[in-house]
Amino acid sequence: MNKCPYCNTTHNEILQTGFVGCEHCYEEIEPLKEAVKAMYQGKKHKGKRAKNGNI
Ligand SMILES: [Zn+2]
C-alpha cells in the first residue's frame, strides 16, 4: 500500500514534505517501511566502524 489508511497521507506527499502523517505511516506505506528497515540496518553496521581504532 502506498497510502496510510489512518491519516490518508500518500508516499508521494511524504517524499515532497519530508514528514509522515502519523506513526502508522511507517507500517502502512510499503516504500517507507523498506526505507526504515534499511535505516535500522545501517545503524547496526555503524557500530563496527571504530573511529579511534586501528590508527
Ligand atoms: Zn499515517
Tens-place pLDDT, residues 6-46:
999 999 999 999 999 999 999 999 999 998 899 888 876 55
From CA 27, how far away is CA 46, in angstroms rounded? 24
Report how far ligand 1's centroid is from the alpha carbon of 34 (Å): 15
In a domain, 6, yes or no: no
In a domain, 30, yes or no: yes
The range of the structural domain enclosing residue 35 comes to 11-46
In a domain, 40, yes or no: yes
C-alpha cell at 30: 510499503
pTM of the model: 0.67
Report how far ligand 1's centroid is from the alpha carbon of 44 (Å): 26
In a domain, 24, yes or no: yes
Number of domains in the chain: 1
Report how far ligand 1's centroid is from the alpha carbon of 54 (Å): 45
From CA 42, how far away is CA 31, in angstroms rounded? 17
Single-letter amino acid code for the residue at 6: Y
Report how far ligand 1's centroid is from the alpha carbon of 37 (Å): 17
In a domain, 38, yes or no: yes
